[in-house]
Structure formats: C-alpha cells, structure tokens
C-alpha cells in the first residue's frame, strides 16, 4: 500500500457485529469516561474501602474527637437548642433582631449592610459588626424556625473548635496521639469558668459572643494551613479563604490569626532557608484574604471614626490573670486550675523542643506573644482582656501536647525500636487522657 493510498483511504464505520465484540466493547469502556452518577458512586465506594484500611489510631482519633463534640453538645441542653424558642441571656437577646432584619429588609435588596430606623433616630446595620454568622442565620431561617436556626449557628463555634484543633494537629504533622488530645484540650478550654465575656468559651458564647467562637474555629484551621503551606508552598487557595472567613465572623480572632501567621513565618525561617519564597507565600495569602473580605472591611475601616468606645478599662493585674486567677469576679471560678494547666503546658514546651515538634514550639511562641500583647496593649477601643482567651487556649493545647508526648516517650522506652513507639501505650494514653 502506497503513501497516496493511505492519505486517500476512508475510515469505515464499525459494523454492528463489531460492537458486540468483547474486545471492541472493552476499548469503548476504556475510552468513554463514566457518567457523573457513576463517578459519584465510585468515589463513595473508594471512601468506604478506605475505612477498612484505617488503623486503630484513626478509629481512636475519630472516637475522641466525636466524643468531645457530642459531650459539649450534651451540656448545652440539646432539647432547648432544638426547640423554636427565642434565645436570650447576656447580650444574646440583642443579637436576635439583626439576622431577622437582614433576612426581611437587606437581603431582598441584595445587601447585607444598610440603615434601619428601628431604634434611636436610625443607626447603621452591620456596618460595624461582622456579617457572616448573621447571614448564616438569616439563610438558615428560610428552611428552619428562626429561633432554631439562630441557636444552631450560635453554638456551631463551640462544636467545631475541637475539630479545628484536631485539624491543626494533623496539618502540622503532630504524631498520634497529639491531634485527638488537642481536641480534648480545646474541650477543656470551652468549659473554662474563669471568664464569661472575653470570648471563646461556653459562658462567653452563651452571653452573646457566638461570632467570636465561630471565628476562632476558622482561625485555628487557618493557622494549621499556614504552618503546612509555609513548608510545602501549597494551600494557596484555602489559606486566604480561611483568613477571610475568620475576619468576616469576628475581627479579634482575625487579628490573632494574622499575629499567629507572623509567628509561623518566623519559626519557618529559623528552621529552613527560603526567605523570599516564604514571605511571598504569606504576603499573597494576606493580600488575597483581605481582598476577599474587603467589601466589608474597607468601609468598616473608613467609617471607624463613628464607632463608640465601650469604655472598658485596661486590666492591669497581669500576673494574676495570666498565672494565678485568684482575684476573679465572685461568679467566676479558677476551673480548671490554671496552675496545673501551666505545668502541663511547660511539659508540652519541653517535649516539643526535645522531639522537634514545630507545632508545639509555635503554640509556645504564640502564647508568649499573646501574653506580651496583653500587657503592652494601651488603653483604647480594643480591650486587652479580649486577648486572654488566646492565651488560655494556647496553654490548653500545649498541655495536651505535653500529655501526649509524655505517653509517646514512655511508649518509645518500652519499644524495641525507639523510633516506633509501642502502639498499645500511645492508644492507652489517648483513651485515658480523653476520659
């Protein structure tokens, strides 16, 4: 056959008999991609198969993290949360108006900020308060009773914080059983009874600081992503999204997230070369994250001169609030005892340095930075006591690392290979510490 013959030859269609040929049919299946429903079913099948490959550590981690979430939810009176009653208590009642106004007046005009005549001679709606939690309530109330939608969103930050802290451990490659015990440390923080209006714990959230709690969960995951991204150069998409979500929920955890990212950068530069690469990664994350929330943040900043000062006086009993908590208000209790938390946190720092756990070193430096900021922050619109939750949470997480690493050290000593800690001991450490 000549070259001219090849160029002029017509391709003949397959005969019907050819379509029944198993070889031809198999070629067709290989060439034609499966449909979307088939792809979805295949993905579900792969997910189910992956569960069968989970080791004991994965199942124990799942049980502990889920247990922390369920335990927290059980203490919040689920029957009241799941009812359609109107939430109240502290400043919570003042927040009930906002999402309903957004749903009924702002969203129909395709806005989330505006002006209302409901009080005074009129006042700005959501120009000076973060919009995302209220937007979630407003949207959810289209399908659920308003009171139920409000309460589900209000407690969501409490229920997601243990998960966020577990994710932080995983993202920073902390070994088992550190990650599940970080969820336990976060749960201990939620039940801290030494403060009730600073933000983050259960009393503060039920007093109306639910936006702070939601933002804190986003901030912790963001810091985990930053820790991973500065090492790998990846996570360029999710990091700015998490930063924007943090800021659109509450600005104080947003500032904490920015400060924590700077701490991560310093630790990363101290460990490995690549100054410009890491600075560029973090700068891009910050710029894109701020840009994503700029539609709300920039008007907020430009109009900040109209904001009122709540008049909170700076707390100056530094040593007591940081290390003792002996002069609390009568309704508050030093529980869990901060002294024991400090001892375990110090153990966590020592273990993190000894085993070169950069996640633990980060938390220690972050805690120290927050303590310094609490002391040096001048009197102003940002009350320095609002920084204390970040100090306490960092201590609880460091304490969890201390317990987990102590168990791993014992497991290594009992193992024939020090690099492979005895599995039974690490699992026992996780279970006993969680209980």
Q: Tell whether 203 is covered by a domain.
A: yes
Q: Tell whether 208 is covered by a domain.
A: yes
Q: Which is it for the CA torsion 80, 82, 86, 90, positive or negative?
A: positive
Q: Tell whether 374 is covered by a domain.
A: yes
Range(s) of the domain holding residue 410: 56-305+319-434
Q: Tell whether 49 is covered by a domain.
A: no
Residue 154, token pair as written in the block: 């209000």
Query: Residues 202-226: what's their mean pLDDT?
Result: 97
Q: Tell whether 251 is covered by a domain.
A: yes
Q: Tell whether 23 is covered by a domain.
A: no
Query: Residues 60-86: what's their mean pLDDT?
Result: 96
With pLDDT > 90 as the criterion, what percentage of the chain qualifies? 74
Cα–Cα nearest to 77, from 177, 206, 211: 206
pLDDT at res. 309: 78
Which of 254-258, 313-317, 353-357 ranks highest by mean pLDDT?
Answer: 254-258
Question: Which pLDDT band holds residue 38 (cuts at 50, 70, 90)?
Answer: low
pLDDT at res. 49: 63
Q: Tell whether 67 is covered by a domain.
A: yes
Q: Tell whether 182 is covered by a domain.
A: yes
Radius of gyration from C-alpha coordinates of the chain: 27
Number of folded domains that form the chain: 1
pTM as predicted? 0.88
- Integer Cα distance of 83 and 157 in angstroms: 19
With pLDDT > 70 as the criterion, what percentage of the chain qualifies? 88
Query: Residues 6-34: what's their mean pLDDT?
Result: 51
pLDDT at res. 259: 98
- Integer Cα distance of 29 and 6 in angstroms: 28
Between residues 369 and 120, which one has the greater pLDDT? Answer: 369
pLDDT at res. 40: 67
């Amino acid at each position: 056959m000549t070259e001219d013959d090849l160029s002029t030859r017509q391709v003949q269609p397959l005969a019907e008999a050819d379509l029944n040929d198993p070889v031809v049919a198999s070629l067709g299946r290989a060439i034609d991609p499966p449909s979307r429903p088939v792809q979805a079913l295949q993905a579900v099948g792969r997910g189910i198969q992956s569960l069968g490959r989970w080791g004991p550590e994965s199942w124990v981690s799942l049980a502990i993290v889920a247990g922390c979430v369920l335990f927290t939810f059980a203490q919040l009176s689920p029957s009241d949360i799941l009812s359609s009653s109107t939430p109240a208590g502290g400043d919570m009642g003042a927040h009930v108006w906002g999402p309903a106004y957004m749903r009924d007046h702002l969203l129909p005009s395709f806005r989330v900020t505006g002006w209302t005549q409901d009080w005074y001679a009129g006042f700005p709606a959501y120009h000076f308060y973060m919009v995302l939690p209220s937007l979630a309530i407003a949207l959810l109330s289209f399908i659920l009773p308003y009171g139920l939608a409000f309460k589900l969103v209000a407690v969501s930050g409490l229920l997601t914080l243990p998960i966020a802290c577990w994710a932080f451990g995983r993202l920073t490659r902390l070994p088992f059983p550190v990650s599940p015990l970080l969820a336990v440390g976060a749960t201990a923080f939620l039940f801290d009874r030494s403060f009730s209006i600073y933000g983050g714990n259960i009393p503060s959230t039920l007093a109306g600081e639910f936006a702070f709690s939601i933002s804190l969960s986003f901030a912790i995951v963001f810091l985990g992503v930053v820790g991973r991204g500065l090492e790998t150069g990846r996570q360029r998409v999710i990091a700015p999204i998490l930063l924007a979500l943090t800021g659109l929920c509450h600005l104080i955890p947003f500032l904490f997230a920015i400060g924590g990212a700077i701490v991560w950068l310093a630790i990363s530069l101290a460990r490995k070369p690549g100054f410009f690469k890491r600075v560029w990664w973090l700068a891009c994350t910050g710029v894109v994250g701020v840009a994503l929330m700029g539609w709300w943040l920039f008007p907020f900043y430009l109009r900040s001169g109209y904001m009122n000062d709540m008049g909170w006086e700076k707390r100056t009993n530094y040593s007591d609030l940081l290390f003792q908590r002996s002069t609390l208000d009568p309704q508050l209790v030093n529980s869990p005892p901060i002294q024991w938390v400090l001892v375990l946190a110090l153990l966590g720092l020592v273990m993190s340095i000894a085993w070169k756990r950069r996640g633990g070193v980060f938390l220690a430096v972050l805690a120290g930075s927050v303590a310094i900021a609490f002391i040096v922050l001048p009197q102003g619109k940002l009350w320095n006591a609002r920084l204390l939750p970040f100090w306490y949470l960092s201590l609880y997480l460091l304490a969890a690392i201390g317990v987990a690493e102590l168990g791993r050290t014992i497991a290594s000593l009992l193992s024939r290979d020090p690099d492979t800690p005895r599995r039974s001991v690490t699992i026992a450490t996780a279970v006993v510490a969680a209980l």
